[in-house]
Amino acid sequence: MFSKKIQKALNDQIQLEEQSSRIYMAMASWCEANGYAGAAGFLFMHSDEERMHMTKLLGYVNDKGGHALLQALEMPHNDFSSLQHVFEEILRHEELVSASINNIYDLTLKEKDYTTGQFLQWYIMEQIEEESLFRSVLDKFKLAGDQKGGLFHIDKELASMANAPSAKE
Ligand code: FEO
């Protein structure tokens, strides 16, 4: 059974994933314009990942006989006070995405749509990984403190994370 309620919730999730892709694209652009090439590469890659999250949902909705819809997006923030501020905003946003996925999962249980519940397992695990990834980046800022060159090293590390195979999954 593929209820209208579930379909609506998945379509709203498509919108949120597409919005996430835009948010990270705007952040990547800010990083590039401000000399953080490593962070920019990392966030451009992450923006692509969010687009993949969106298209995966879109395919699922259509495969189930529904109609995946694209909706209006908001203008993302284009200005940030610091590189750390960028990553604080990302973690806050990912927590919101996790809550949204969990709400849809909850709805699948109420509606007895176990197929969609199973499909959402991938997203639940992905959110655990993403939150953990961004917390680990924020930890780097704490460790660097006010150290001279701290931001330079964080940017370099983000560049290598963008190139690591695990970051591209
Ligand atoms: Fe698709 Fe980062 O949540």
Q: Is the pLDDT of residue 28 over 90?
A: yes
Return d(Cα 21, Cα 142) in angstroms, integer: 26
Q: Which two tokens stand for residue 168?
A: 């591209």
- Ligand 1: residues with CB < 6 A are 17, 20, 50, 53, 94, 97, 130
Neighbouring C-beta atoms of residue 33, cutoff 10 Å = 10
Mean pLDDT of 5-18: 98
CA of 147 to the centre of ligand 1 (A): 31
> Looking at residue 166, what is its pLDDT?
53
Nearby residues of 167 by Cβ (< 8 Å), 6 or more positions away: 42, 45, 133, 161
CB 120 within 8 A of CB 108: yes
Measured by CA distance, the residue closest to atom 1 of ligand 1 is 50
Position in ligand 1 atom list of the atom nearest CA 54: 1
- Model confidence over 55-86: pLDDT tens digits? 999 999 999 999 999 999 999 999 999 999 99
CA of 19 to the centre of ligand 1 (A): 10
> Looking at residue 163, what is its pLDDT?
79
Confidence of residue 168 (pLDDT cuts 50, 70, 90): very low
Q: Which of 59, 60, 48, 43 is nearest to 17 (CA)?
A: 48
The CATH superfamily assigned to 4-163 is: Ferritin, core subunit, four-helix bundle (1.20.1260.10)
Nearby residues of 108 by Cβ (< 8 Å), 6 or more positions away: 6, 114, 116, 117, 120
CA of 148 to the centre of ligand 1 (A): 32
5, HSE (Cβ side, Cα atoms, 13 Å) = 12
> Looking at residue 165, what is its pLDDT?
61
> Looking at residue 146, what is its pLDDT?
75
CA of 92 to the centre of ligand 1 (A): 12
Return d(Cα 30, Cα 32) in angstroms, integer: 5
- Model confidence over 116-165: pLDDT tens digits? 999 999 999 999 999 999 999 999 999 988 777 899 999 999 999 887 76
CA of 94 to the centre of ligand 1 (A): 6
- Model confidence over 33-43: pLDDT tens digits? 999 999 999 99
Q: Within the chain, what is the greatest distance between any pair of CA atoms?
A: 58
Q: Is the pLDDT of residue 16 over 80?
A: yes
Position in ligand 1 atom list of the atom nearest CA 46: 2
